[in-house]
């Protein structure tokens, strides 16, 4: 790490840039309502005013500029208007475009003036065609481009005034004109990414960074504009920019901000795409030890051990990433869902793990979630099944009923406009339509919460009710209602004498195979209201706490209000043989069928890395996972004693990072229920 990067890192870690911020008391929503502006007009005007309020600000020693100075993004609708909007259609989360991966590459290579000309030319056609919707969108898009160019000009003028000629020179070229150098491309990206947050879009994925940025890096190295050390310093500074404003970003918890960057994999032709920039990104992240950007690494059984060991260095540092995705499972899984092969090969991730194709995906990848333990609970409360097979059939039917219930909420799904983000999505200017109306792919992703809890419950039911005949289903339900207080012996047997998923035990794992197949079947062939399909997945997001509060104790011995495991993982406090046995259990299902994503999540005790061959062992575990057909994997290096001490003495652990569900955050910034969940997860060693 160079002295310059160390200085910038300390500046950001000490939050000294927060002094550049100011509070703006926005009152736009009332004015917009009074003027009866359309949603598109509101988005354009709000962005224009937001960027106009931004004051050029510079961090000492920086080369890549743009830092938020206005803390609040303006509201566009009054409370009464929000109620009316939500009464007419389902608006997911905050209602705006979010959780997608834009096409940054096209704009980086063309410049905003070229995008403006394309929009202006298309506007003339829309006027000729009397296309009112197209006219409104294109005017809004042009307004956004003009607002960004104006802010960049003000930054350039201020940089000249302050003698920051290196920044002014970069801003002479971008964002108006195409990026030519690595520095210009990084600065251009920073401006685009900054603008998306100001427009109101959140969880904006970075996409396949090492693919679209590589040509700029290679150009500079080949033409002696930069040497490798200079290029690496620029990359580290660029990574630091993701941490300037992230505390202002929307999320369930601090750190849940969707700044996910994807590396490696294959290109659109199916050729290996790992390159120099891939490795530079891994090294930079490992050296900086920050939660942003979150690193995702696409791998396959052919991935060299050397790259896996390099990635494992990040895990050893406790970053909770990279998150791994297996091309050999993801790509064919997406193709089976209807994605074109070239698009499937080009996949990235949305905020956490959900797969999305950059530039052409307007998927709502986390629109809802099914609580698998709740499905089992509903079935046993009304079942008179004579055999376990009959009970499984009833679970399959209940999964379809759950799908019916959820789909009933999504008969009309709308997204509020994002004119500026639309210019970063392929074909939207040409179509004269905001991306909120849809794109090439408009699929809905469904999380599947608590798989291991549901599986372990079914295993216990099979043993206690149908094999050993210790009790009836009705008696079991009564024990669940009183938290097993009336029969602690049954609780002990459910917890300690029944097979559990994660131990490579076919008694449990075969039930998991069927349950995931039934879950996939429940959504197969259904079309959503935006013309797409439904993609079930194995992720949980924050539902591992929310769904757990909705049911009483479960048949596996889990007590009331005890949380489910995060994502695709063994149940909490279950004794498992080893990480290898967990991998074996969790790779038996056909994971191509649940390809909305949702990683196998493993906690490794940090002592694993104190061994001389710790890196090699963990890298070998990752390799084994993909060889067995795993889809996604994330590893957390944790120490329970350290986490407990951090709860008592947070001031001593300001930089302690943990993986939460699909993102990494600072442990002391999490709400206590999320802290407690990380502490309760099963620590394993190799």
**Straight-line distance from the first to the last Cα atom of the chain, in angstroms, rounded to the nearest whole number:** 31
Could you tell me which of 369, 348, 49 has the C-alpha nearest to residue 200?
A: 49
3-state SS, residue 666: strand
Tell me the per-residue pLDDT of 229-270, one tens digit each, with 9 for 90 and over.
999 999 999 999 999 999 998 788 888 899 999 999 999 999
Residue carrying the six token digits 């199916």: 270
Token pair listed for 440: 């090439």
CA 392-396-399 angle, 5° bins: 135
pLDDT for position 60: 96
Could you tell me which of 354, 45, 39, 410 has the C-alpha nearest to residue 198?
A: 45
pLDDT for position 630: 98
Quote the CA–CA distance of 333 and 592 in Å, as a whole number: 4
Question: Would you place residue 573 in the very low, low, confident or very high pLDDT band (cuts 50, 70, 90)?
Answer: confident
pLDDT at 488 over 90: yes
Residues 6+ apart with CB under 8 A from 665: 253, 254, 255, 256, 291, 657, 658
Global confidence as pTM = 0.95
pLDDT at 685 over 80: no
Token pair listed for 19: 């002094």
What does 198-221 look like in DSSP terms, one character per residue? HHT-BS---BSHHHHSHHHHHHHH
What does 472-528 look like in DSSP terms, one character per residue? -HHHHHHHHHTTTTT-HHHHHHHHHSS--TTS--HHHHHHHHHHHHHHHHHHTT-B-
Quote the CA–CA distance of 269 and 288 in Å, as a whole number: 33
Quote the CA–CA distance of 173 and 340 in Å, as a whole number: 36
Strands 444-449, 90-96: pairing is unpaired
Tell me the per-residue pLDDT of 497-545, one tens digit each, with 9 for 90 and over.
999 999 999 999 999 999 999 999 999 999 999 999 999 999 999 999 9
Tell me the per-residue pLDDT of 2-33, one tens digit each, with 9 for 90 and over.
999 999 999 999 999 999 999 999 999 999 99
pLDDT at 330 over 70: yes
pLDDT for position 45: 98
Average pLDDT over residues 110-132: 98
Could you tell me which of 206, 203, 12 has the C-alpha nearest to residue 105?
A: 206
**How many Cα atoms within 13 Å fall on the side-chain side of residue 473?**
17
* Mean of pLDDT over the chain: 96
pLDDT for position 663: 87
pLDDT for position 156: 98
pLDDT at 162 over 90: yes
pLDDT for position 399: 98
Quote the CA–CA distance of 580 and 624 in Å, as a whole number: 8
pLDDT for position 182: 98
Tell me the per-residue pLDDT of 301-314, one tens digit each, with 9 for 90 and over.
999 999 999 999 99
Average pLDDT over residues 204-221: 97
* Alpha-carbon radius of gyration of the chain: 26
Average pLDDT over residues 315-325: 95
Tell me the per-residue pLDDT of 398-455, one tens digit each, with 9 for 90 and over.
999 999 999 999 999 999 999 999 999 999 999 999 999 999 999 999 999 999 999 9
pLDDT at 359 over 90: yes
pLDDT at 682 over 70: no
């Amino acid at each position: 790490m160079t002295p310059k990067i160390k200085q910038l890192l300390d500046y950001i870690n000490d939050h000294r840039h927060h002094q550049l911020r100011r509070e703006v008391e926005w009152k736009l929503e009332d004015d917009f309502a009074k003027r009866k502006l359309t949603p598109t007009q509101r988005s354009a005007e709000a962005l224009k005013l937001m960027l106009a309020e931004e004051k050029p600000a510079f961090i000492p020693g920086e080369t890549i500029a743009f830092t938020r100075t206005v803390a609040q993004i303006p509201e566009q609708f009054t409370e009464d208007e929000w109620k009316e909007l939500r009464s007419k259609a389902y608006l997911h989360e905050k209602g705006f475009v979010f959780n997608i991966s834009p096409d940054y590459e096209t704009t980086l290579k063309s410049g905003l003036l070229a995008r403006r000309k394309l929009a202006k030319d298309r506007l003339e056609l829309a006027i000729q065609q009397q296309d009112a919707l197209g006219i409104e969108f294109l005017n809004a898009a042009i307004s956004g481009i003009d607002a960004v160019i104006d802010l960049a000009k003000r930054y350039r003028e201020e940089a000249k005034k302050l003698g920051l000629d290196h920044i002014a020179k970069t801003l002479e070229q971008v964002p108006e004109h195409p990026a030519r150098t690595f520095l210009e491309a990084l600065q251009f990206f920073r401006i685009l990414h900054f603008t998306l947050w100001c427009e109101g879009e959140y969880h904006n994925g970075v996409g396949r960074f090492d693919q679209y940025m590589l040509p700029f890096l290679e150009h500079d190295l080949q033409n002696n504009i930069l040497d490798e050390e200079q290029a690496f310093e620029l990359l580290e500074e660029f990574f630091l920019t993701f941490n300037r404003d992230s505390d202002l970003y929307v999320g369930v918890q601090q750190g849940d901000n969707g700044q996910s960057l994807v590396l490696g994999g294959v290109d659109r032709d199916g050729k290996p795409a790992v390159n120099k920039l891939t490795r530079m990104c891994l090294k930079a992240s490992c050296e900086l030890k920050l939660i942003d950007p979150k690193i995702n690494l696409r791998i396959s059984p052919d991935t060299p051990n050397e790259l896996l060991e390099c990635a494992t260095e990040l895990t050893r540092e406790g970053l909770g990433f990279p998150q791994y995705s297996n091309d050999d499972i993801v790509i064919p899984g997406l193709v089976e869902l209807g994605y074109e092969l070239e698009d499937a090969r080009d996949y990235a991730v949305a905020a956490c793990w959900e797969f999305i194709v950059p530039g052409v995906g307007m998927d709502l990848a986390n629109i809802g979630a099914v609580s698998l333990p709740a499905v089992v609970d509903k079935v046993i409360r009304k079942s008179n099944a004579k055999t376990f097979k009959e009970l499984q059939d009833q679970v399959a039917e209940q999964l379809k009923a759950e799908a019916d219930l959820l789909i009933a909420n999504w008969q009309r799904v709308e997204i509020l406009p994002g004119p500026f983000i639309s210019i970063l999505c392929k074909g939207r200017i040409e179509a004269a339509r905001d991306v909120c109306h849809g794109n090439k792919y408009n699929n809905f992703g469904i999380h599947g919460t608590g798989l291991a809890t549901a599986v372990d419950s079914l295993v216990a039911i099979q043993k206690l009710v149908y094999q050993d005949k210790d009790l009836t289903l009705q008696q079991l339900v009564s024990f669940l209602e009183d938290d097993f207080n009336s029969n602690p012996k049954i609780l002990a047997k459910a917890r300690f004498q029944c097979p559990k998923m994660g131990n490579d035990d076919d008694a449990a794992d075969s039930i998991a195979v069927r349950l995931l197949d039934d879950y996939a079947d429940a959504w197969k062939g259904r079309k959503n209201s935006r013309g797409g399909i439904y993609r079930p997945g194995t992720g949980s997001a924050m539902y591992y706490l929310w769904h757990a509060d909705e049911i009483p104790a479960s048949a596996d011995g889990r007590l009331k209000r005890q949380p489910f495991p995060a994502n695709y993982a063994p149940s909490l406090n279950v004794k498992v043989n080893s990480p290898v046995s967990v991998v074996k259990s969790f790779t038996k299902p056909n994971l191509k069928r649940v390809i909305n994503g949702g990683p196998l999540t493993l906690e490794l005790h940090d002592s694993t890395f104190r061994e001389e061959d710790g890196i090699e062992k963990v890298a070998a575990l990752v390799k084994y996972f993909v060889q067995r057909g795993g889809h996604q994997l994330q590893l957390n290096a944790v120490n329970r004693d350290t986490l407990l001490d951090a709860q008592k003495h947070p001031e001593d652990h300001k930089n302690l990072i943990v993986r939460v569900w699909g993102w990494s955050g600072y442990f002391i910034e999490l709400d206590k229920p999320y802290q407690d969940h990380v502490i309760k997860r099963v620590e394993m060693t190799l």
